Amino acid sequence: MQYVSTRGQAPAQSFSEILLGGLAPDGGLYLPIEYPRVSGAELDAWRKLSYADLAVEVLKKFATDIPQEDLKSLAHKTYSAAVYRNARAGDDASQITPLHVLEERNGTQLVLQALSNGPTLAFKDMAMQLLGNLFEYTLAKQDAELNIFGATSGDTGSAAEYAMRGKKGIRVFMLSPHQKMSAFQTAQMFSLQDPNIFNIAVKGVFDDCQDMVKAVSNDLEFKARQKIGTVNSINWARVVAQVVYYFRGYLSATSRNDQKVSFTVPSGNFGNICAGHIARMMGLPIDKLVVATNENDVLDEFFRTGVYRVRKSAETYHTSSPSMDISKASNFERFIYDLLGRDAARVRALFRKVETHGGFDLSGKPDSDGDEFAKVAQYGFVSGRSAHADRVATIRDVHEKYGVMIDTHTADGVKVAREHLSPGVPMIVLETALPAKFNETIREALGRDAERPAGFENIESLPQRFDVLPPDVEEMKAYIAARTGL
């Protein structure tokens, strides 16, 4: 399996060659030359597999340059009950991503897929734990080092740091928007004292952090000298790892391959739902892919109108679902590449316009950039928006009716999912995090604190270690260089 850039000006490479990097040298994102297909016979066989063995079957279609026995060892090391030990009461931790039927209306089930049983209580663990093991495996073979440079709006950072802490040959430099995460999220990251972990609070919003990651990645000389890699969702291996739980969700919710399901995904950076798009392109019988946004509704606007309009930092809202406080969706380029028939020249032109004019228009109206918005329905995408009052009401409703406590982002998903139900088609909402990570809003909605898994009782009181920097690329480069000695 070879991978090409969405912008068409980088050489094709293997899975292992793109694993440690992020952006392609031409500024694009990697995708396989063609998506591998999954047959009905394979789906039948996969219904019987454990999560780890299912991961092997999916991964081996993409990581064709890694021996299957090595993939099996890595998957079983990653997806074990010992790692995903924070399951809800009554759940079988060995299932890794169990389903919970919340309600049934007119023969349609609304289902929650639990993805937050890992060490940092967020769905990001599903990919990041595998990525940490893949990085360590690959670096050991190359006798090399890696300096991970990433950005987080809340959960990616802690998932990356917990996956990489203590890993040989790896340092983590993680940017986050200063004072714009929940108290729990902040403590989870900043309380880590491992010498290979560096937390940098940036005076700005998440998009400022993400822009600096891209700027550093595009400085190819600095990137090579400092051995920079990324764990943000632009990393292809992270997207592939997320594809696995779409297959698991489908196989758990159905009994036959002629059945379809829909997925609703709380989305800011388009990485999680991009994995659903890829699963659908592989042949997974998905009906709708529902994009759920918060007040930062760039993606909802596109899927309603065909206009992709990036907001400036000052126009990005700080909300009670902060992991989605994003106004420039990095992984969106992967979908646009497919939507445009893999026309790399047009992708280059459109995303150059994002940088110069703040967006593009595919609505087909006069003076628009094209008319491909009409093709979006062929890919199953629809969308919706949720605001603070919606998520508070949804958290309260789900708890009162079903005795289930959900976090703010998952509440955005449930609210939007209810707007897109189809008779006879199960709607699976992908859980984003455990509610303990957003206790301020849980207390507002329910008048009580969220339950915390063992070991997280007093995390906010732990000593914190971090540095505060401005959104200045040159100052950030100097910070990295001073700590690597390269």
Give the burial class of 421: count Cβ atoms within 10 A of its Cβ; 0-12 exposed, 13-18 middle, 19 or more buried.
buried
Question: Long-range contacts for 472-475 (Cβ within 8 Å, ≥24 apart)?
Answer: 473/212, 473/215, 473/216
Which tokens in the block code for residue 205? 């919003």
Specify whether 124 is catalytic.
yes
Contacts of 244 (CB under 8 A, 6+ apart): 51, 54, 55, 58, 59, 126
Q: Point out which residues pair with 197 in neighbouring strands.
A: 172
User: Parallel, antiparallel, or unpaired for β 108-113 and 427-430?
Assistant: parallel
SS3 of 18-51: HHCCCCCCCCCCEEECCCCCCCHHHHHHHCCCCH
State the catalytic residue, choosing from 61, 72, 77, 124. 124
Q: What is the Cα Rg of the chain in Å?
A: 21
> What is the distance between the alpha carbons of residues 391 and 406, in angstroms, rounded to a whole number?
10
CB atoms closer than 10 angstroms to residue 224 = 9
Which tokens in the block code for residue 134? 């893949």
Residue pair 333/6 in contact (Cβ under 8 Å)? The answer is: yes
Which tokens in the block code for residue 168? 């040989």
Contacts of 53 (CB under 8 A, 6+ apart): 72, 75
Contacts of 336 (CB under 8 A, 6+ apart): 6, 347, 350, 351
- Return the residue matching tokens 């959104």: 471
- Return the residue matching tokens 């595998």: 130
Angle at the Cα of 303 from the Cα atoms of 298 and 304, rounded to 5 degrees: 95
Residue 198 Ramachandran class (φ > 0 left, ψ -120 to 50 alpha, else beta): beta
Which tokens in the block code for residue 414? 């449930």
Active site residues: 124
